[in-house]
Amino acid sequence: MTTTTKTLRGTAVALTVATALVASGAPGAAATTRNDVMRDVARHVLTVGAPGYAARIDDGHRVAVTAAGVADTATGRPMTGRDRFEIGSNTKMFTAVLALQLVDQRRLVLDAPVERYLPGVVPNGAAITVRMLLNHTSGLFSYTGDPDFFPAMEADPQHVHTDRELLDVAFEHPPTFAPGAGWSYSNTNYTLLGMILRKQTGKSLPDLVQQRIAGPLGLKHTYYADPRATDTGPGYAHGYAVTFAGGTPVATDVSGWPLGGWAGAAGAIISTPADLSRFLSAVLRGELFSRTQLAQMKTTVDIPEGFGVTGAYGLGLMRRDTPCGTVWGHGGDTMGHHSSAVATADGRRTAVADTTAEPSDTTPSDGANRFARVAYAADDIASCVMLGKPVPAALTDALHS
């Protein structure tokens, strides 16, 4: 598929907010205020260079869906809030669930060394456990942190990486720290987990996701890209790599790039806001594995300052300490999407959002920095709305910056 480059200036914008009641009674002034807040969020996300934005917020009583902009700049097709999209590192929650299911079945041991399952594959693999892969305390360098990785991808965007190629990139770099001696987010950990899952089950990751998660939960629009998204017409939100180097945002459609060929078990799932919400609720309610494994998943290590998120990391599940309270979930960034999926600890309230853009500038720029400020403020504001809390002035200021 040929990528389409389009200047965002002049892109048609459609903005809708639909509220579906889950409890009896009509929404009152509070619901109207929440809708106004999310409309404002959507408007500001579009102003920083995103073609489209969608958010689905379930506050435990009703569901509100906000959709803004277009899902495809080439056709002008509007976002609907039901579109499938690349969920990026939210995939790590799926991979962790699959691993914990195997723990329940005694086919995997969290504190066993990686060497047991992948002999000779990982340097110092006898000192790195499965748990360390899941909670990012292995010290293994992330292949996406290699400065040449993304430039090489942009030069040959249709290349489908093998696991061995990704590991070779990672292992060219020394460990960030000794196993268990720190915390550092690494996609390499989840590449290895994907390899372990395949070896222990004899099944592919697309089959495991369908048979063990999507099928049982009725997630009809959730699948593992193998290696690309399928059916990217109506009902699919295209993703755009945006450069701000010239002052005016310019977007390249990257929806035809092989997500599964570089993100894999770390980030290759396609889903919808409703499906992702259902999945996250099921995780936090212990519907997919035992309560013992849910407790393991929620056993966290602190995330160091400077990562950009305040909180802690469990087994593929992040605890985020937002300005409005604690939420659980993850985030995701691909070449063309920024997304967030969070819930309350009991899974009753959820907030899922997708911004159909990701900065691709190789050097810092004012436009990319503003995009990041607004995108992360939008995530936190969605959490506040989900929790029924007033939006702090600092978040509003960041959104309007």
pLDDT digit of tens for each residue in the chain (401 aa)?
323 333 332 333 344 544 343 333 345 556 668 889 999 999 999 999 999 999 999 999 999 999 999 999 999 999 999 999 999 999 999 999 999 999 999 999 999 999 999 999 999 999 999 999 999 999 999 999 999 999 999 999 999 999 999 999 999 999 999 999 999 999 999 999 999 999 999 999 999 999 999 999 999 999 999 999 999 999 999 999 999 988 889 999 999 999 999 999 999 999 999 999 999 999 999 999 999 999 999 999 999 998 988 999 999 999 999 999 999 999 999 999 999 999 999 999 999 999 999 999 878 899 999 999 999 999 999 999 999 999 999 999 999 98
Give the pLDDT score at 308: 84
d(CA 163, CA 149): 14
Q: Domains (ranges, CATH) in the chain?
A: 5-399 (3.40.710.10)
Sort strands 357-359 and 240-243 into parallel, antiparallel or unpaired.
parallel
Give the pLDDT score at 246: 82
d(CA 379, CA 387): 13
Tokens of 182: 């720190």
- Side chain identity, residue 157: P
Supply the angle between the helices 29-47 and 366-387 in degrees, to the nearest 10. 170
Find the catalytic residue in 24, 89, 255, 383: 89
Give the pLDDT score at 29: 58
- Name 78's bridge partners: 70
Q: What is the phi-psi region of residue 38: left when phi exceeds 0, alpha when psi lies from -120 to 50, beta otherwise?
A: alpha
Give the pLDDT score at 31: 61
Give the pLDDT score at 21: 35
d(CA 67, CA 70): 9
Q: Is 89 a catalytic residue?
A: yes
Residue that has been written with the tokens 């400065």 in this structure: 147
Cα 109 off chain centre by: 26
Give the pLDDT score at 361: 87
Give the pLDDT score at 378: 98
Give the pLDDT score at 114: 98
Tokens of 304: 């160091």
Give the pLDDT score at 30: 66
d(CA 208, CA 260): 15
Q: Which secondary-structure segment (H or E) carries 325?
A: strand 325-333
Distance between the two ends of the chain, CA-based, in angstroms? 36
